[in-house]
Structure 1
Amino acid sequence: MRKRKGGRGRRRDGGGGGATGFTLAVILFLGTLRPLEAQMSLPFTGQGDEPEEPVEVYVSAMMERLLEVDDKNYLFENIVYVYLSWEDERAYQQMIDATDSYRNGTLEECERPCSSDSQGSLSRRGTGYHHHDTCCSTIWLPTIEMLNVYELPEGRLQPYGIIKDEGSSGVAWWVGIHGKYFTPMDFRRFPFDHQELDMQFSFTPEVNPAIKRFIPSATSTRFLIRGEGDALSGFEVAGIKIVAKKESLQDELDFFIGGYGTKSNPNDPVKITGGPARSGYLGQAERVSFDIFIGVDRFSKYYVLNMIVPVLLLVSLSFITYIIPPSSLDSRIGLNVTLFLALTALQFVVNDQLPKSSYPTAVTELILVCYLVVSFGVPESIVVFALEATMKAREDKLMKSIKDGEEVEGMASPKSEDGLPESMSIAMRVLKRKRSQKAPFIIDMVSLAVMIVIVIVASTIILVGVPSLMPDLPDRRQYD
């Protein structure tokens, strides 16, 4: 009664502000629940009593489709069906007991039907023990963490199935996972790069974990979806591999903290870092995990036609510089400056499609080489122009000397130091000057040949790559 009275008083004083405030609070509260609903539970949320002895779990991965590779943000999104199987003698009887308990009303609700198709609609009138009408809420399932998941999209489907056949001790648990993940990428050979997209899964670190180890089994790059043509924009899936790992939690902590941070304070009562095999949870716990690597190759033809070919055509036009006469200095310099600006404009377009990294990509290195080749034409043109102008001035001086030194008719020609008439000596020097004028032409041709060789060799090394120079690059041959 007091609450109602207080509520009426607030309505009189605040014009309904109390009810409005309560409504807004409810709306805000429901709004905070939406992200939780979007995330739902993790795909591999475990249950039940652990087996008496650690088990070996076999892992299979079948990718329905790779939805996106966001190389600018180092993210990728996909739908993968992960299939786990192990031995558990208790499982079939546990399924029978749970199903019977649900059907006779002893079990009020089956928290986990054996198939997601029956979730929320499992019938109590079922007969027999078929996959789609049984309850698996007491079968042991391991909790598998997703270490590098970035987002589990809102509204995603998360189908699952638990398979337990009569007469077999094997248990299988598959889950369809739609998620977005963070993964490091290497762009040194862009656009001819191969990327390893990593999905990291781990059993909760424990002392004497219930899972002895994960064992890779079947893989598939395509599942359920049929059809021809490209399945992903910009990339081609090369293959899938599963890599199982088992390491001490202490070794893992020491690796990351020792390599990327600072070690624990000596006075810390429970140090994160420490010696291997030390006592306590951190020293004795083990992480049993597996990674699913999806190898993808970039569609390089698109970038070759839209980036590399225009760049090489522009640098090829700069070779005309060495054919233009050295005396046309303005034309030679104008051509190179125009091509330099064209390369700059093209680079702005290229940079929008290049991933930003701490090292130059192959395309960036190629553009840099092209800048140097085009720029070289300017000082080379100035040198040959100055050389030709100097030689031409000397030639004009010699011709003037010949003209001034013509002997008057009937007079004998004076002798030079070598015993020849002075006019003949000057003529010989003119011929030598004529031959020496070939020097600018020779310089141009040598420069042209050197620039062509530099572009060809640099393009081959940068674009094709030399494996010995980049031994740590991801390689698709492991999927062949």
Structure 2
Amino acid sequence: MGCFGAIRLVLTLSAIGSAPATAPLDADMTPPRVQGKPVEVSIGFYILDFARITSRDESFDVTGYLELNWRDPRTARPESTANGVTRHAPGKIWTPRVFFENALEQPRFHFDPVIEADDEGRVSSWVIVSGKFSVPMNLRQFPFDRQVMSVRIGTFEDESVQSLQVDPALVMVDEKAFVTDWTIEKASARVEPRRYVPGQETYPSYIYQVVVQRQWTFYFWRVLVPLTLLTIVAWAAFWFEPSGLQPQISTCTAALISLVAFNFAIDFSLPKVAYLTFVDKHALIGFGFVTAAAATVTYVHVALDRGRRDRAQRIQRFARWLFLPAYACAVGLNLVNALL
């Protein structure tokens, strides 16, 4: 055996000889049972502040406060300590194990959980956590949409061992919470059973939700109004003399090119979804009316070339008075459909 082999053998034997025996299961680290029933954990989570809400990937970033309260008779003390409360280090007593079901990334805890127990065995644990969470968004009404931001918290213990109940005092949003482009409305919370594997045990799941309303002013003035004005530009083509092909075609072409360029310019601020939003439909309505204007101008000049000037003038006059009411009706129907 070489020198290095001998050294390796000695180190291995030393490690084996010094290894402690397997410790028995610590009863205090198992979930408590109160009067033979599963431990009841009161859970509360609320948002301290938003970092952002991202419509493109349907997610939001928040910092929140998580608190758990339960009763464990094993932590009761006959003699009071300062204020009758004992602080425990994480891992020294049993605490509920929870996780964030819809977290896109590993949540960041700002510090170790603060665990305190009073002399009667009432235990509380709280921590500040930041994370990025996924949430399905219905953006069909964009930018007049209202969304529900949800944080789902699951447990590692099934309902036969542990139950959850909502702490109503913590169903709220911090009064200083703020997020750009959104108005924060009401918060709600509920507990519902969750079955992760079909046919297996159900686990309690806590669902915290906050309703937010998008502030649509930016999109109205910077997106909807310009799209509307660019579409109305094509209406000017019906006010030229029917024989003036050049200005009519130029007007329709300029409006169409401007619409295309403007849609490319605002693309960064619009969500990428598989369905049409209100803004998408508004833009398509504009494209449709500008294209219809170009087709009408073409038809007018075909009639002129065939010597049907009276017919060309009637068509132009009809289009002149029909364009705006028809466009207004289409936009109005789109708006009503979005808001209903």
Regarding TM over 0.5, the answer is yes
Output the CA distance in 2 between the equivalents of 1:344 and 1:466: 23
Seen in structure 2, the aligned counterparts of structure 1 residues 162 and 340 have a Cα distance that, compared at 3 Å, is same
Is residue 2:171 matched to residue 1:187?
no
Q: 1:215 aligns with which of 166, 187, 200?
A: 166
Alignment of 1:232-243 (within 5 A): 232-243=179-190
CA contact (8 A) 2:100 2:153 kept: yes
Is residue 2:127 matched to residue 1:175?
yes
Seen in structure 2, the aligned counterparts of structure 1 residues 333 and 307 have a Cα distance that, compared at 3 Å, is same
Residue by residue, what CA displacement relative to the aligned partner does 1:372-402 show, whole Å, maximum 9, x if unpaired?
1001111211222333454468xxxxxxxxx
Output the CA distance in 2 between the equivalents of 1:365 and 1:303: 14
Match of 1:455 in 2: 327
Task: Calculate the TM-score normalised by the size of structure 1.
Answer: 0.59
Alignment of 1:362-373 (within 5 A): 362-373=278-289
Match of 1:86 in 2: 70
Is residue 2:232 matched to residue 1:316?
yes
Q: What amino acid does structure 2 have at the position aligned with 1:158?
A: F
SS of corresponding position for 1:54: strand
Q: What amino acid does structure 1 have at the position aligned with 2:312?
A: P
* Bigger CA radius of gyration: 1
Alignment of 1:53-452 (within 5 A): 53-93=37-77, 128-129=82-83, 131=85, 134-135=87-88, 138-152=92-106, 157-158=110-111, 160-166=113-119, 170-206=122-158, 209-215=160-166, 217-218=168-169, 219-222=171-174, 225=176, 231-247=178-194, 249=195, 252-254=196-198, 283-391=199-307, 437=310, 439-452=311-324
Output the CA distance in 1 between the equivalents of 2:72 and 2:320: 75
Residue 467 of structure 1: how far off its partner (Å):
5.8
CA contact (8 A) 2:237 2:251 kept: yes
Output the CA distance in 2 between the equivalents of 1:467 and 1:176: 37
Q: What amino acid does structure 1 have at the position aligned with 2:186?
A: G
CA contact (8 A) 1:91 1:140 kept: no
Output the CA distance in 2 between the equivalents of 1:212 and 1:392: 83
Unpaired segments ≥5 residues, structure 1: 7-45, 98-126, 255-282, 394-436, 469-480
Q: What amino acid does structure 2 have at the position aligned with 1:315?
A: T
Task: Calculate the TM-score normalised by the size of structure 2.
Answer: 0.80
Output the CA distance in 2 between the equivalents of 1:148 and 1:444: 58
Residue by residue, what CA displacement relative to the aligned partner does 1:250-277 show, whole Å, maximum 9, x if unpaired?
xx545xxxxxxxxxxxxxxxxxxxxxxx
Which structure features the higher share of helix residues? Answer: 1
Output the CA distance in 1 between the equivalents of 2:330 and 2:94: 60
Task: After superposing the two structures, state which structure 1 stretch, 312-321 or 134-143, moved more.
Answer: 134-143
Residue 356 of structure 1: how far off its partner (Å):
1.2
Equivalent residue pairs, number: 315
SS of corresponding position for 2:264: helix
Output the CA distance in 2 between the equivalents of 1:353 and 1:392: 48
Match of 1:421 in 2: none
Is residue 2:5 matched to residue 1:50?
no
CA contact (8 A) 2:227 2:283 kept: yes
Seen in structure 2, the aligned counterparts of structure 1 residues 89 and 454 have a Cα distance that, compared at 3 Å, is farther
CA contact (8 A) 2:70 2:122 kept: yes
Which structure features the higher share of strand residues? Answer: 2
